[in-house]
Structure 1
């Protein structure tokens, strides 16, 4: 297998709301190469979103729309059975809002990454997946879709002509079949920065990680998500970046290494 020399690091940002603060966006934007910025449905207020866009632009970080279900109370992590036309409109609305705010400061939205329950649902639910895919195609077919590595969503999106980037999760455990271990299970979420960094080096160098069952699982990904809201998120992201760079791997946005 050909060893990757470049990898993207992305993080979910812009999720604070009024007096309620989530994560350390300013510090995280000095670590990642792509920022998934909330669009107001699962998190983020207009001023928070705009401030995050400004910081992303200052740090030359690629900007993506982090679209989700209309679920502020549940932080977008509750499953929802939304009609296809409604979901399509919701996604168009969110992308449009972020594009408008970005345009106001001379910034650009380059990709879309669904959030939480929506992300997990459309990985294999074709009806909802097509609603999201259609939304992207209708508002801007040049937007890249970031999707779970190994998911059916990747094939469906490519069939509609979208460029897709597969991602892996730095702080999550995987089953031997390549699926994520449910957050309800022990060991699903990893917290040790050194362990996480070693696993991500394994991912980039060997093309996969050791599963929770103890066997190697292949994961083809061009982006690594380091969650901005998990415990010790910043230290974890910094350690991942440091470990990869020490091993000759350049951290850069997939928009700059894509063969589009």
Structure 2
């Protein structure tokens, strides 16, 4: 039986004249792109250009939703109410959807960014309201999150498609991702990250692997991960392929 794995990347995080991330080098290496929607990063032109680039390489597009914090790049936790998170989510989904409709394509998934990613993973009220916003907008959308996180469990309970994620370019401490405050020494070299990713798939399988476009040496990291996966029999494919084949992948917390 073929083994399928999705490779995703957070992209479209430039803003005006400020260029950020190795999007052009990363796009040919991935199967799913998470495009910033203007809250933590990105702007209307960058959103449009990112969608065009994704379509050029046959990469599907999801919304990378964040907190309204351009100065902090969405990596600072904010004291926001669940209703605000609902509104932020719906607002950003609508913004990206407009450009996707113009391009003649559709949104495939959502993935929270930075502080919002961890807030929805760890806090029940934030997970619940995010799931409600996604369900109200389009219940066919997939949600990318940590396996067995609050967002994962609430999404499953609501009958949504939830995709379990591993971060190849982040260190894990006590089997939990260290999203902030990490060092290059902690994540190591591209070949080391590739070895760790393969070990995760052997021991605690996930459905998608992320490398951030702004991580130093990101294209080399993704190439190393991708080549190691292919060499060991994995097929780089979008998550819906797994749904079509009916293969089952357990999703335990890393």
TM-score of the superposed pair, with normalisation by structure 2: 0.91
What residue in structure 2 maps to residue 240 of structure 1? 225
Gaps of 5+ in 1: 208-218
| 1:187–1:236 Cα change, 3 Å | closer
Q: Is the 8 A contact 2:170 2:182 kept in 1?
A: no
| 1:98–1:189 Cα change, 3 Å | farther
Gaps of 5+ in 2: 247-254
What residue in structure 2 maps to residue 47 of structure 1? 45
Count of residues in Structure 1 that have an aligned counterpart in Structure 2: 245
In proportion to residue count, which structure has more helix? 2
What residue in structure 1 maps to residue 111 of structure 2? 113
Q: Is the 8 A contact 1:173 1:187 kept in 2?
A: no
What residue in structure 2 maps to residue 181 of structure 1? 178
1:186 Cα deviation from its structure 2 partner = 5.8
Q: Is the 8 A contact 1:183 1:189 kept in 2?
A: no
| 1:103–1:182 Cα change, 3 Å | closer
1:175 Cα deviation from its structure 2 partner = 2.7
Distance across 1 between alignment mates of 2:28 and 2:17: 23
- Larger CA deviation: 82-91 vs 161-170: 82-91
Residue 201 of structure 1 pairs with residue 186 of structure 2: no
What residue in structure 2 maps to residue 25 of structure 1? 23
Counterparts of residues 96-175 of structure 1 (less than 5 Å): 96-175=94-173
1:191 Cα deviation from its structure 2 partner = 3.9
Runs ≥4 residues deviating over 6 A: none
1:141 Cα deviation from its structure 2 partner = 0.8
1:146 Cα deviation from its structure 2 partner = 0.6
RMSD of equivalent CA atoms: 1.7
Distance across 1 between alignment mates of 2:139 and 2:146: 19
Distance across 2 between alignment mates of 1:149 and 1:174: 14
